[in-house]
């Protein structure tokens, strides 16, 4: 299944109608219409067409008439007569000598004059279908670009994770050397119990053991890659996995005070935030 970005633009023109669709980020599918009142009866059908193609994003729909539209001007003669009659009565009551003319009707044009286009539904729906397809294609293209960026970021995370794992493998030996050097500096020429040093180093290494967190992190990362491969509606699922990845890497940082480990932790957290920024734009 294709992966869609939530940003995109699609337009189409058919006969007397032009349809423009603009899509931006939104947690849910949020559709807004801007079109002539005489097209309002078609709004629900338009909504259903959009829902069949998109699941998330704010979509602004604009439908306008082109110069090919066939429009008739309808005049509500009854209202026009009533307005002119009322104006004549006011003139007489106030003893005004101004003659009432048709020009006064333009002050009430929104009430008297109506546009009644010849709505050709096949043209209208063809324009909507083509605009939806153009928007869908653009969202898919943008989605593909986002996935490429995310995959590059994940590759960087994996490299830092491999380095973390390598550092954790040498943790016991490093703790042993550090502890021995500190004790020698403290006691100088005094004899040091080598067995006790090994025991203390092992205790310190166990407290700072990050292998379990690395294993879980790697598992979450594989799930993330699988989701990207399968496609579909993935934004919220990936957001959940990113939270789990951050939880594991924060635990690694708190358990191990080693400078090199801390450096890799900061780099991984930075990369995870980059993925989070990119995923905000994916359906």
pLDDT at 233: 81
Q: Is residue 3 part of a domain?
A: no
| Domains held by the chain: number | 3
Q: Which helix (H) or strand (E) holds 29?
A: strand 29-34
Q: Please tell me whether residues 213 and 125 are part of one structural domain.
A: no
Q: Please tell me whether residues 227 and 257 are part of one structural domain.
A: yes
Q: Is residue 207 part of a domain?
A: yes
Alpha helices in 117-169 (DSSP H): 121-169
pLDDT at 269: 95
Give the domain extent around 199. Answer: 143-279
Q: Please tell me whether residues 27 and 124 are part of one structural domain.
A: yes
pLDDT at 15: 87
Q: Is residue 1 part of a domain?
A: no
Distance CA 213, CA 168 (A): 11
Distance CA 233, CA 102 (A): 60
Of 84, 106, 138, the last residue of a domain is 138
Q: What is the pLDDT of residues 75-131, one digit of tens each?
A: 767 877 777 788 777 777 777 666 666 666 666 666 776 666 677 899 999 999 999
pLDDT at 29: 95
CATH code of the domain in which 59 resides: 3.30.230
Specify burial of residue 54 (Cβ count, 10 A radius: 0-12, 13-18, 19+): buried
Please list the ranges in the chain whose pLDDT falls under 70: 71-73, 76, 96-110, 113-117, 169-208, 257
Q: Please tell me whether residues 166 and 217 are part of one structural domain.
A: yes
Partners of residue 13 on adjacent β-strands: 18
Q: pTM here? A: 0.70
pLDDT at 198: 62
Q: Please tell me whether residues 79 and 196 are part of one structural domain.
A: no
């Amino acid at each position: 299944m294709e992966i869609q970005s939530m940003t995109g633009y699609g337009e189409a023109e058919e006969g007397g109608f032009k349809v423009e669709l603009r899509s931006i980020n939104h947690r849910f599918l949020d559709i807004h219409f801007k079109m002539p009142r005489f097209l309002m009866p078609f709004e629900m059908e338009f909504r259903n067409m959009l829902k069949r193609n998109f699941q998330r994003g704010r979509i602004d729909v604009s439908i306008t008439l082109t110069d090919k539209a066939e429009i008739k001007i309808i005049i509500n003669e009854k209202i026009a007569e009533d307005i002119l009659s009322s104006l004549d009565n006011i003139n007489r009551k106030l003893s005004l000598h101004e003659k009432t003319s048709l020009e006064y009707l333009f002050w009430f044009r929104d009430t008297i004059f109506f546009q009644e286009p010849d709505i050709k539904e096949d043209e209208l729906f063809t324009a909507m279908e083509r605009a939806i397809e153009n928007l869908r294609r653009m969202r898919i293209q943008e989605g593909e670009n986002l996935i490429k960026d995310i995959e590059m970021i994940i590759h960087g995370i994996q490299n830092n994770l491999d380095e973390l794992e390598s550092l954790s493998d040498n943790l016991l030996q490093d703790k042993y050397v550090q502890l021995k050097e500190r004790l020698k500096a403290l006691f100088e020429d005094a004899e040091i119990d080598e067995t006790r040093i090994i025991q203390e180093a092992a205790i310190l290494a166990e407290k700072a053991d990050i292998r379990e967190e690395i294993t879980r992190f790697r598992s979450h990362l594989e799930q993330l890659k699988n989701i990207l491969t399968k496609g579909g509606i993935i934004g919220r699922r990936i957001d959940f996995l990113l939270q789990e990845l951050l939880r594991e890497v924060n635990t690694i940082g708190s358990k191990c005070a080693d400078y090199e480990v801390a450096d890799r932790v900061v780099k991984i957290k930075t990369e995870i935030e980059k993925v989070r920024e990119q995923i905000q734009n994916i359906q």
